[in-house]
Chains A and B, each alone.
Chain A
Amino acid sequence: MGFLNLSFLWTMIMPLIVIIYYFFRKKYIQQSVSSTLFWREIMKETKVSPYLQHLQQNALFYLQLFALLLMMFVLLQPYIKTKNISGEQIIWVVDTSSTMLAKEENETIFEKHKNEMLALSKKLGGKAVTIVTVGAEPKIVLQDEKNRARIERAIQQLQVTYSHEDWPNTMDFLQSIIGKKSTAVYIFTDAIEPKQLPKRTKNIKWIVQGSEKKHQNISLQRFGAIQSAEGIEAIAQIENQNPKSQQTTLKIYNADQEEIARKTINLKANHITKVRLDNLKSTDALTARLTANDEYAADQSMSTLLATDSSQIFVDQSLHQLISKAFQSIDSSASTISSNQLESIQSKSILVTNHTDLLHQSKNPILLIGRDDKKALKVDGEVKIIDPKLFSYASIEDIYVEKVYPKVRNAKTLVTVGDTPLIQQTENGHIVVLMDLQMTDWALHPSFPLFLWSAKEKLTAHNSQLGTFKPGEKRVVSLPESKKGIDIYTPNNEYIKSIADGGSFVAPSKPGLYYVKTDSDPLYFVVALEQQEKTLSEGTSFQYGELSKQNTINKDNSIFSTILIIMILALLIVEWEVQRRYGFTN
């Protein structure tokens, strides 16, 4: 035997009250008076009709009977059929993709869905809700929450994340949450095909709230620019998704958000138009913006970073082959050249060599592995990282080092072996490894290629761009060191957020151009809308699947029980009063 609802044990108080009540029942003090002539008349006033009198005399009996009947009624667990949400478990799946920002009348689809959710939250009838947002990955916002205030707060805080909704992943995720319980899944999206929903319908009811409107949309599909001898050349691809031809203006802005070009374009209905702009002034990034009358604004602007010369890696032939192999696996453009050619290499390319003099001569960033001017000495001791910035991904403390070259002057020690420096960084930013590969087993450790990658990133970190990201994308980037932490701003110098280091870089969710404030030049990066998010599709609202019968009945007995309990308590009080006034009438 078990109890389903031990929490109702508190109702033990009720019989206790009755018992106490009988203990302390009214005691009449006997008092003899000469005549009850007047008293009788006072009492007569309350004994008007015979029915009332009967009720009065038997009030206790009736009240107790009524209380017992109510008890029985509570035990029967009455419920009313209301238009409440059915299912044992309720899951609200909220699409937070960019297309949810398409306008419907005065509000966006997203806002409309939010209001719908708020309305639904009032009909929950004490059931738990799980809210899942769908973006690049499904995310649980609320799990099995019953508190209406908390549900409403969570709904209010929902925001569009701009990333494309990943339905297959979400469906798998949902299946794992649903389990075997009967579940009502509400999908708040703009458009989803019934075939995108799982086949399994046992105990699951899918309720899809789509947007049935065909939206007006003009979309800036692609935008790119290259630096040429005559200036910047930009190409834009604009798609008119409307069945009507339309005119629009394309404006181009530079990195400082100054308008540098403008063009009026006639767009044919359901047609893609290509626009080419030449001889633009040199800048770090370009932003194209369309001024068109449509209902979806997120796809009307795009930013692009100007392709700068990518830094190439040149590896000295005299170095161990493993090094050049490793660099080639990191960057296919890495090439091996002879030591003599190294000096003629253009700036910004990374040189990997053992020529110590290059440290002072070359302007290129240098990764020095071994020294050609000194002899290596035997070393004994454990490898110890002093400055971990190059080793955030893999520690090298487990490698063995046999010999080590003497240290270079004016350089910061990053790693030591015993007391001797092993890896250093010069004031110019060059990285010096004071050993040859033959002197260590490092090449056998996974930390070796990771170190090379880190070194390469470190040496190229002085670029002016970070690249292009998806909304809210997490990617490890290498950022210049900054004592104050790293802040992200829009080109209008609006503060967005701060991050600790390149390892925890998360792109902002709103598409557009951003920059990371550094001590020197700003580092630009672009958050671009995914291509799928640039097309609005017409959706439908439909329901699909069915809950097993016993669960389709909405048991909304919570209010009932509360009311009944309150009634019983009120009854007890009334009984008390009746007892107090009339006593036992038998």
Chain B
Amino acid sequence: MKLITVSGPPSAGKTSVILRLAECLAGRLGVVKFDCLTSFDRETYESAGIPVKVGLSGKFCPDHFYVNNVDGAVEWGIRSGLDYLITESAGLCNRCSPHITGIMGVCVIDCLSGVRTPRKIGPMLRLADVVALTKGDIVSQAEREVFAWNVRQSNERAQIIFINGITGQGAFMLSKATEDARSVNTLSDARLRFTMPTAACAYCTGETRIGEPYQMGMMEKMSYDEYGEDEL
């Protein structure tokens, strides 16, 4: 079973890209959708005849939730006799990346999000094998070119593919790219390409009060001095 991780900011068009990709692939494709609070994609996938599992992270960090459950997704895919398994997750803090070493990673970004957006997205984009750019049909050619150039500045080696999530234009090239995706039977001992953010503080365990006395565990304080650094 070929495994592909698809990630991207909310509403970038991940689900549409996956649906258009499914139309181009011969073989049985299934999706595991990771989301936070709610997801409407189960119906979308089911009505396209695609087997789907939805995991909602709820009170857990969505990326930690993802990595704790992705190996189970592979077991489910194998049991269901899939030829392709796609995990779909939103890179919610732009710090995380669901991509796994040796597993094809696709990052979906939409051109409407602004030409400089590719520079703001971290390892989810930087470490992707394929960057799928959506909604390019409604922005100018010049903006598409600048957008793709900014993607290239962040990620030198990825294949950049423009995909129209409505007409499917470009999805064929994505399906060609998936020919390189590796087949797996298990993710046991596989590694993430990038670490998850540190999170072991009072707020992780349900603290809601604000102020120094309540802040315990792993944390980082910003400097508000005149010459202080505004980023870590």
A and B physically associate: no
Interface residues of B (CB under 8 A from A): none
Interface residues of A (CB under 8 A from B): none
